[in-house]
Structure 1
Amino acid sequence: MAMAKPTVVLLPVWASGHFIAALEAGKRLVAALGTADFSLTVLVMRPPTPESASQVAAHVARGAAAAEPIGCEVSFHHLPAVDPPTGCTSVEYFTSQYIHLHAPYVRAAVAALPVPAAALVFEFTSTTMFDVARELGVPAYVYFASSAAMLALMLQLPAIHDVMMPEEFGEMEGQHVHVQGLPPVPASCMPASVMSRKSPSYADTVYHGTRLAEAGGIIVNTSEELEPAVLAAINDGRCTGGRPAPPVYPIGPVIPLSDATSSDHECLRWLDGQPRASVVFLCFGSLGFLNAEQVREAAAGLERSGQRFLWVLRSSPPAAATASAHPLAEHLPPGFLDRTKDQGLVWTSWAPQREVLAHHAVAGFVTHCGWNSVLEALWSGVPMAPWPLYAEQHLNAFELVASMGVAVRMDVDRKRSNFVEAGEVARAVGCLVSGGDEEEEGRRARERASAMRDACRSAVAQGGPSFASLHGAAAAVRHRLEAGVDAQLTGTAILHGGD
């Protein structure tokens, strides 16, 4: 009797940058497995805020529609709501704990599937789901939405923790951390979740780093061209103390196709009227926001630079705002909009970032260094000026400048809530467009970004290394599924997650 069409089960995190990229990666994996033989089942956690809930609902609607061109059968299963955890002192720790509360519902949903589960794929903040996969006899894989550098640090973090002498990374003034595959990393560039060993998020991150070794494989949103040294360090076991790391499959860049509805956006029409390679784009992601003081300083820097700019300036969501908060545009210097009306555009709502970065008028990108934003910039060959704000963005910023060479340096004062002075904004913006006072730095970043554009596109094309890696991941899933079925037929144990 033929086996029913198996499904890959995906558990994405609700944040837009995670959900969209994880869904795209899941569809690519199923396409590599063969859409006639496999389907994709997405388990949807109810987001903890109304704003994120509406965003996820929109992503689900678009995700279902976008599956049709490649024939990928996608179904969405909404998990029961859970009560959010209390007493969490950081976003990272809250996210991890909130996901953990869904474990019983994930177990029940997978167990109730009418078809075999070929694999359970989740993100690194969901490693407690290894227990669910093991109980169900389903191979478990991790989709790693960030860089290979962050993965290397996660795998190495348990060992770093054991030998670390200072109480905090924040106390290691002027010192460096040795992350395999990277130049020495300033301690000040460590991810926000591990800066303080006293915080619950630190212990939680070490825990996830320890459990990553249990994965049947780790699918990473990067490519061999972008991070060759880091990927080699992981594959050689240097990040896991000489022990073999789980198989790593760099399949990136994972960038969803653009929405057709955004091609006529007002920001794009404004860019149509600007000269080629003349505009600096400033955008800080769906969760990145500047405070009033930073807004004034950035505005002064942009005006001083004299360069054209498109600035996405959004106020923080209501849940994070204080009773006295006002739209950030109100904190612009008096007369700024009038003085710069022929120089730039301040946009106070969502903007189609992928399309903006692909526009011929855009010369550079001032970015918070979220990994999806980094990949979108490199996909279009746009050099960057890093202004990291949270999560692992300071590590990403370091890698962009010190390892990849696709960005110009930017002096960000992390101790002052990532403050950047006006003069530094003006210098970096000028450097991106024309080289400014540091012509060589800007020229190198532009050349490297252009080279990375070609490398990214060839990586995911048929026959490219990311294409081959994706099919390697699919072959591993298929092999483990077939081995599990054979084991059932012969009365032996079903294959568990982890090698």
Structure 2
Amino acid sequence: MKLQGQSHLDTYVKSMASSQPFVRFIDVPELEEKPTLGGTQSVEAYVYDVIEKNIPLVRNIVMDILSSLALDGVKVKGFVADFFCLPMIDVAKEVISLPFYVFLTTNSGFLAMMKYLADRHSKDTSVFVRNSEEMLSIPGFVNPVPANVLPSALFVEDGYDAYIKLAILFTKANGILVNSSFDIEPYSVNHFLDERSYPSVYAVGPVFDLKAQPHPEQDLARRDELMKWLDDQPDASVVFLCFGSMGRFRRPLVKEIAHALELCQYRFLWSLRTEEMTNDDLFPEGFLDRVSGRGMICGWSPQVEILAHKAVGGFVSHCGWNSIVESLWFGVPIVTWPMYAEQQLNAFLMVKELELAVELKLDYRVYSDEIVNANEIETAIRCVMSKDNNVVRKRVMDISKMARKATYNGGSSYSAIEKFIHDVIGIKL
């Protein structure tokens, strides 16, 4: 489905199709009347609107696929949709009478929050989340959850409405696959195993692409330069800073980060996404000369390759769940600096619930005017990079081994995938 401003995905899909021949990609015809992302509407509400308008088009495609497969004697047993495609449940359940499953690319804690929202709404439809100091008792979390770490969209009316609709649709699915594992989130995963009134939850992660395709905007020559520089650095000596494709900073905050990197004196690799990249006064005067040889700055970066490199010892991250999963897999501890979407909840989960990250910020928002000062940033970097009695580093290394083991035959995630397949095709274990 074509979303506004995502033309680069065509290149990505083509490269993915050539490397994964067993996966078939089908372009949904573009909508005649495309929804637009207004200034006051949340992204979540916009995406929900786009998905709903695509339902008739997807229904036609699915019916054609089923007819074609039936002619070949192939029986379709289930329908799996992405989190935002939950409105497609009507296509599966009402039109073709197939069990409907959801693949949630984030964690079990997020799912616990969605269940909490649906349960609360069923008791009182007038309740609205306020960005306050309120502490919420969410089943599936050990600790009370501050309201100010919930997704930003919950604080605006159309965003809240979209989340509630999605939360209710979750309850109608046959099952939900989450990109996490029992080893990463034991309390939350166990909570859902005991929840008989909710769809089955399969913790099948970590799921990510170890051989990720380069982004179309990435300079491959620059990538080679970065990797060669990393090859020359001592083990676990480099702190990597990367804040996702939407994690852009204004000039004052860029200067604070630069100052912090000077203060802490660690080697660094900084993936800097800013519209002001070419301005001479983006960094403190003389910064680039003073850190020459000790640090590298780039635009797009090959994140999986960088996190996998033995020279990388810490990761200052926006706490997107894919980034967290990758860092846990490679045993790289995180400093939390969330930006948007559910990243504040991810940061809370990593720091307070799982003790797998160092806290810089839990409730930062990318559109805020907050300036995080250099001393705060320096302290967090020193904490994550310290080799002496670093409890977080040890826990992350232990979880890395456990998360990998979970995906092997006999591991918890491998068994969850087996159970999912057996449930879909109707075989009782």
Same fold (TM > 0.5): yes
Q: 1:357 to 1:326 in 2, by over 3 A?
A: closer
Per the alignment, in what secondary structure is the counterpart of residue 76 of structure 1? coil
Contact kept? 2:241, 2:317, Cα under 8 Å:
yes
Per the alignment, in what secondary structure is the counterpart of residue 282 of structure 1? strand
Contact kept? 2:314, 2:334, Cα under 8 Å:
yes
> How much does 1:286 deviate?
2.3
> How much does 1:256 deviate?
1.2
Residue 30 (structure 2) pairs with residue 81 (structure 1)? yes
Aligned to 2:200: 247
Contact kept? 1:107, 1:136, Cα under 8 Å:
no
Counterpart of 2:27, as a letter, is H
Per the alignment, in what secondary structure is the counterpart of residue 296 of structure 2? strand
Whole-Å Cα distance in 2 between the matches of residues 419 and 163 of structure 1?
38
Q: 1:328 to 1:193 in 2, by over 3 A?
A: farther
Residue 79 (structure 2) pairs with residue 120 (structure 1)? yes
Where structure 1 has 5 or more consecutive residues not aligned to the other structure, the ranges are 1-44, 238-242, 317-324, 483-499
Whole-Å Cα distance in 1 between the matches of residues 279 and 80 of structure 2?
39
Contact kept? 1:313, 1:329, Cα under 8 Å:
no
Aligned to 2:47: 95
Counterpart of 1:268, as a letter, is M
Whole-Å Cα distance in 2 between the matches of residues 282 and 164 of structure 1?
42
Aligned to 2:284: 333
Aligned to 1:154: 114
Give 1:40-439 correspondences, 5 Å limit.
Answer: 45-49=1-5, 52-54=6-8, 56-68=9-21, 73-82=22-31, 83-86=33-36, 87=38, 89-113=41-65, 114-115=68-69, 116-134=75-93, 135-161=95-121, 162=123, 168-170=129-131, 172-173=132-133, 175-182=134-141, 183-194=143-154, 196=155, 198-237=156-195, 244-259=197-212, 265-315=224-274, 327=278, 331-348=282-299, 350-411=300-361, 414=364, 416-417=368-369, 419-434=371-386
Per the alignment, in what secondary structure is the counterpart of residue 143 of structure 1? strand
Whole-Å Cα distance in 1 between the matches of residues 362 and 213 of structure 2?
36
> How much does 1:228 deviate?
1.1
Contact kept? 1:389, 1:418, Cα under 8 Å:
no
Q: 1:210 to 1:418 in 2, by over 3 A?
A: farther
Tell me how large the CA RMSD over aligned residues is: 2.4
Counterpart of 2:372, as a letter, is V
> How much does 1:138 deviate?
2.3
> How much does 1:431 deviate?
0.9
Whole-Å Cα distance in 1 between the matches of residues 204 and 281 of structure 2?
43
Contact kept? 1:412, 1:420, Cα under 8 Å:
no
Contact kept? 1:387, 1:412, Cα under 8 Å:
yes
TM-score (norm. length: structure 2): 0.89
> How much does 1:109 deviate?
0.2
Residues 275-323 of structure 1 deviation map (CA, whole Å, 9 limit, x = unaligned): 111110000112222222221111111111111110000125xxxxxxx
Q: 1:177 to 1:163 in 2, by over 3 A?
A: farther
Q: 1:292 to 1:164 in 2, by over 3 A?
A: farther
Q: 1:446 aligns with which of 377, 393, 411?
A: 393
Aligned to 1:473: 420
Per the alignment, in what secondary structure is the counterpart of residue 345 of structure 1? strand
Residues 339-382 of structure 1 deviation map (CA, whole Å, 9 limit, x = unaligned): 1113211112x211011011111110000000000000000000
Q: 1:220 to 1:329 in 2, by over 3 A?
A: farther
> How much does 1:133 deviate?
1.1
Q: 1:212 to 1:277 in 2, by over 3 A?
A: same
Q: Which moved more, 1:451-460 or 1:262-271?
A: 262-271
Contact kept? 2:148, 2:363, Cα under 8 Å:
no
Residues 45-65 of structure 1 deviation map (CA, whole Å, 9 limit, x = unaligned): 12311xx222x2233223223
Per the alignment, in what secondary structure is the counterpart of residue 467 of structure 1? helix
> How much does 1:328 deviate?
7.0
> How much does 1:214 deviate?
0.8
> How much does 1:249 deviate?
0.9
> How much does 1:421 deviate?
1.6
Q: 1:419 to 1:221 in 2, by over 3 A?
A: farther
Q: Count how many residue pairs are aligned between Structure 1 and Structure 2.
A: 407
Where structure 2 has 5 or more consecutive residues not aligned to the other structure, the ranges are 70-74, 215-219
Contact kept? 1:249, 1:469, Cα under 8 Å:
yes
Whole-Å Cα distance in 2 between the matches of residues 177 and 339 of structure 1?
47
Contact kept? 2:77, 2:425, Cα under 8 Å:
yes
Contact kept? 2:15, 2:213, Cα under 8 Å:
no
Counterpart of 1:48, as a letter, is Q
> How much does 1:274 deviate?
1.0
